[in-house]
Copies of this chain bind each other. A is one copy, B any other.
Amino acid sequence: MKKKQQASESEMSEKEFLDNYDPSVFQRPSAAVDNVILTLLDDELHVLLVKREHHPAKEAWSLVGGFIDIDLDQDLEATARRKLQEKTGVKTPYLEQVYTVGTKGRDPRGWSLTAVYLALVPHHKVNLEAGPGAIDIKWEKIKGSGVGKKLAFDHSSILKECLIRLRSKAVYTSLPVHLMPPEFTLSELQSVYELVLDSKMDHKSFRRRMLGADILQETGKEKKTARRPAMLYKLKNSKSTFFFTRNIEGQQS
């Protein structure tokens, strides 16, 4: 259903063209951003879900997203950050664009696309708020490649893709550090890797690898537990992700 372009433009200047531009020449798909926001809670991965207030998929649980607001948002990432901050208060998460899904049928309102972002947030930074458009918000535990319930639209498959991304990157990067609290022990970090990869690792290899990457700094403090105290580390550069030249494998757990 295209309308006709409004004039023969052969002799127009670009300025004239733009002054006459009719944005409805092509019907546009709707454009949104969805965030898969992951955190660590009770030694389990959790994803943030909101319960939709409005149609379509009213009262279904969905990822944290929304339409691009062409007045408010300078770019795609701004939409992602706006939605993220609206629900969690977190301003500076690890945020990575994963992919974009766009199909005729994924939304009953018609052709729609959504740019999917993966956000990793340390749980202590989060302040949940349902906010506009949501009647509830909660952390849902990850089981395998998703959550135990159906999600709105194609959000289950989006979540699945993001978990695949997290897991494949954990094999050759330091990505999981972005789930950690400000200070943590190497054993705690290893447990997070083991959780993400669902695989046990040798602690000697793990220590060698992480310390060799030169991304951690000793705090000098020790974690007091019921056993031998462990060194507490913090990130040297909390914004960056380290890429190893070899994969870590571990064994099936």
Contact B103 A75 (CB under 8 A): yes
**Complexed CA–CA distance, A14 and B109 (Å):** 10
Chain B CB within 10 Å, residue with most, of A12, A55, A68, A71:
A55
Q: Determine whether A226 belongs to the interface, using a CB cutoff of 8 Å to chain B.
A: no
Contact B100 A18 (CB under 8 A): no
Q: Determine whether A237 belongs to the interface, using a CB cutoff of 8 Å to chain B.
A: no
Copy tally for this chain in the complex stands at 2
- What 4 A-B pairs have minimum CB-CB distances, sorted nearest first? A17-B55, A76-B102, A70-B111, A75-B103
Contact B28 A30 (CB under 8 A): yes
Q: Which listed residue, B97, B108, B172, B247, touches A18 by the CB 8 Å rule?
A: B108
Size range of the interface on A?
35 or more
Q: Which listed residue, B9, B103, B113, B246, touches A55 by the CB 8 Å rule?
A: B9
A-B CB contact pairs (8 Å), 9 listed: A14-B55, A18-B55, A23-B110, A26-B30, A26-B70, A28-B68, A68-B102, A75-B102, A76-B102
Q: Determine whether A29 belongs to the interface, using a CB cutoff of 8 Å to chain B.
A: yes
By a CB distance below 8 angstroms, the chain B residues around A54 are 9
Contact A115 B103 (CB under 8 A): no
**Complexed CA–CA distance, A69 and B30 (Å):** 12
Residues of A within 8 A of B (CB): 1, 9, 12, 14, 17-18, 21, 23, 26-31, 54-58, 67-71, 73-76, 97, 99-104, 108-111, 113, 115, 172, 245-247, 249
**Complexed CA–CA distance, A113 and B108 (Å):** 22
Contact A55 B100 (CB under 8 A): no
Q: In the complex, which residue of chain B has the Cβ closest to the Cβ of A108? A: B18
**Complexed CA–CA distance, A217 and B110 (Å):** 46
Q: Which listed residue, B17, B55, B111, touches A68 by the CB 8 Å rule?
A: B111
Q: In the complex, which residue of chain B has the Cβ closest to the Cβ of A28? A: B28
**Complexed CA–CA distance, A246 and B99 (Å):** 25
Instruction: Identify 19 new A-B residue pairs, CB closer than 8 A, beyond the known A14-B58, A28-B68, A75-B104.
Output: A9-B55, A14-B108, A17-B55, A17-B56, A17-B58, A18-B55, A18-B56, A23-B30, A26-B67, A27-B70, A29-B68, A68-B102, A70-B110, A74-B104, A76-B101, A100-B100, A100-B115, A245-B246, A245-B247
Chain B CB within 10 Å, residue with most, of A58, A68, A69:
A68
By a CB distance below 8 angstroms, the chain B residues around A73 are 104
